[in-house]
Structure 1
Amino acid sequence: MKKIDLLMIILFLGTSAWVLHKHKGYDEVNDSAQWRPLNDMNREGWFLRVGDSIYGTTVEDINCCIKYTKPLKKIDARSFVVSKDCKYAKDKNHVYFPILAICEDWWEADSEGCADIDYIKQYLVVGAAPKTFKYLYNTYGIDKHYMYCWGERIPWDDKIILRAKQRGL
C-alpha cells in the first residue's frame, strides 16, 4: 500500500511540474499575430467562414467552395480567430495551419465556372495549446511547452526565439 501511495505522489508531482512548466524563452517573445474573429462570409488566407462552418480553401467563389469542399471538422466557429500576418488560426480548443493542401487542377471550368479547387486536407496542429499559442514569424509558433514550424512540432530552438526577439525590437 505504501509503494502505491508513494508512486501516486511522484506521478502527481511530476504531472503538476509539467503543467506549470513554461519553456525557457516563452516569456521572452511577444505574439506577432493580431488575432481577430472571422466573420460570416469573410476569408483570411486559407480560411473562409460560411455561417457556423469554417472551410479551408483558396476558392474565391463561395458557391464553388460549398459545392466542392467540406467544412473543416472540430473547429468552433464562434471562437475561431485568424491573423493576416500568418497562416495559423485557432479557436478555444485547437490551433490550425494548412499543413497539407490538395490542388485539383481541371482542364476547364464546370457549368458554374468552378475550376482548380484547392483545399486543406490536414490542418490540426497536434498538441498545440490555443490559450498559450504565440505566432513568432514566417511559419514559426510556440506555446508554453513546444515550438512549431509549418504546423508541425519541432525541437525547441533558442536561435528562433532570438530571431523573434530581434524582429520585435
Structure 2
Amino acid sequence: MIHETEDFSEAISFNPEVAYKHIIALYLVLFIFTSCNTGQLKSKSSTSPKKSEIESTKPNTWISLKEKETIDGYTKLNGHIYGGEIACDVKPLDGIDVPTFQVLAGTKYAKDKNHVYYPIRISCIDYTDCGVCYYADIVIADADPATFVYLDKEYAIDNGHVYFRGEPIKGAESKTFKVIDGPEYFFFAKDRNKVYYFNHYFSEADAESFYFDREHPLNVISAYEHVYIVADKHNHWEFRPPGQFKKINVDGDHKL
C-alpha cells in the first residue's frame, strides 16, 4: 500500500497537467450534481400558482383558470377567485361566478356570465408583519359580458358602451369606435363623431380625417421621451402624454 501511494504521488508530481484535468473534471461533476438536486428540491417544494404564457394567447381568447393558476393577477385557489396578492388573510373576490369565470390574458379584463371585471381600484395594506395589494373594485358597471369585445390599447366595447381601462367613456359610440394604430404608449381612438386620447375627448380634431402622422420627423419614441405628431385635414398637433397638445405647422414650427 505504501508503495502504491508513493507511486501515485510521483505520478501526480511528474504529470501536473493530468492531475489538473482530473481536478477540473471532479469540480464539474460536483457542480452538475448539486445543480440538479437544487432544481429538484425547488420544484418539489414550490406551491406558488402557475403563470400562463401571455405571449401564446390570441386576442379575445378567454381562458378559464385552473386550480392554483394565475393570469393578470387573477388566481383560482380552493374554488375561489382572488385578485392581486394572496397574503395577510386577504379575502377572495366577492360575487364571482367561478364556473363561468374567464380571463382575457394580457389585458386585465375578465368576465363571468353576469359581469365584466377590471382592476379599477387596487388597495394596498401595510401591516407591521405583513403587506398586500389586492383588487378592491373590479366590477365594470353595466358592461355586457355576452357582447364584450377587447379591441386594443386597453380599449374595449360592448353592445352599447366603450371602455378604457375598465372605465366607460361617456358619449363614445361603440358601433363606430376604432383604435388608431400607433407605438406602445400611443393611446388614441375615434368614432364617427369624436377623437379620444386615453378616456378623454379631443374636441379640436376632426374625427373623420384624424390620423397619426407616423413619418413626421418630430416624432420622438424613446425610453425617456414620447412625442407624437397627430393631424387631421386642418391641423397638425404635437402631443406629449398624458395630455399636452401644441398646434404646429406642417414643417414642425409651433403655431401661436
Q: Give your verdict on TM over 0.5.
A: yes
Moved over 6 A (4+): none
Q: What is the aligned partner in structure 1 of residue 101 from structure 2?
A: 80
Q: C-alpha displacement at 1:105, in angstroms? A: 3.3
Residue aligned with 1:122, SS: strand
**Structure 2 residue 125 is matched with structure 1 residue 95:** no
C-alpha distance after superposition, 1:31-73 (max 9, x if no partner): 93221101111111121111321111134xxxx3xx5211111
The 5 A counterparts of 1:43-82 are 43-59=70-86, 64=87, 67-82=88-103
Q: Say if 2:160 and 2:173, in contact at 8 Å, map to a contact too.
A: no
Q: C-alpha displacement at 1:136, in angstroms? A: 1.3
Distance 1:126 1:39 in 2: 27
Q: Say if 2:156 and 2:163, in contact at 8 Å, map to a contact too.
A: yes
The 5 A counterparts of 1:15-26 are none
Residue aligned with 1:58, SS: coil
C-alpha distance after superposition, 1:133-167 (max 9, x if no partner): 01112321110110011211113167851427xxx
**Structure 2 residue 48 is matched with structure 1 residue 33:** no
Structure richer in strand, relative to its length: 2
Residue aligned with 2:178, SS: helix
In structure 1, give the amino acid aligned to 2:126: D
List alignment gaps of at least 5 residues for structure 1: 1-30, 165-169
With CA pairs under 8 Å and 6+ residues apart, which has the higher RCO, 1 or 2?
1
Alpha-carbon RMSD: 2.2
Q: Which protein shows a greater Rg?
A: 2
State the identity as a percent. 34
Q: What is the aligned partner in structure 2 of residue 118 from structure 1?
A: 133
Q: Say if 1:134 and 1:142, in contact at 8 Å, map to a contact too.
A: yes
C-alpha distance after superposition, 1:79-115 (max 9, x if no partner): 11112220100011100000000112356xx3xxxx4
List alignment gaps of at least 5 residues for structure 2: 1-57, 182-256
Residue aligned with 1:68, SS: coil
Q: What is the aligned partner in structure 2 of residue 154 from structure 1?
A: 169
- Residue of structure 2 aligned with 1:163, choices 155, 159, 180: 180
**Change over 3 Å in CA distance of 1:45–1:58 after alignment to 2:** farther
- Residue of structure 2 aligned with 1:131, choices 124, 142, 146: 146
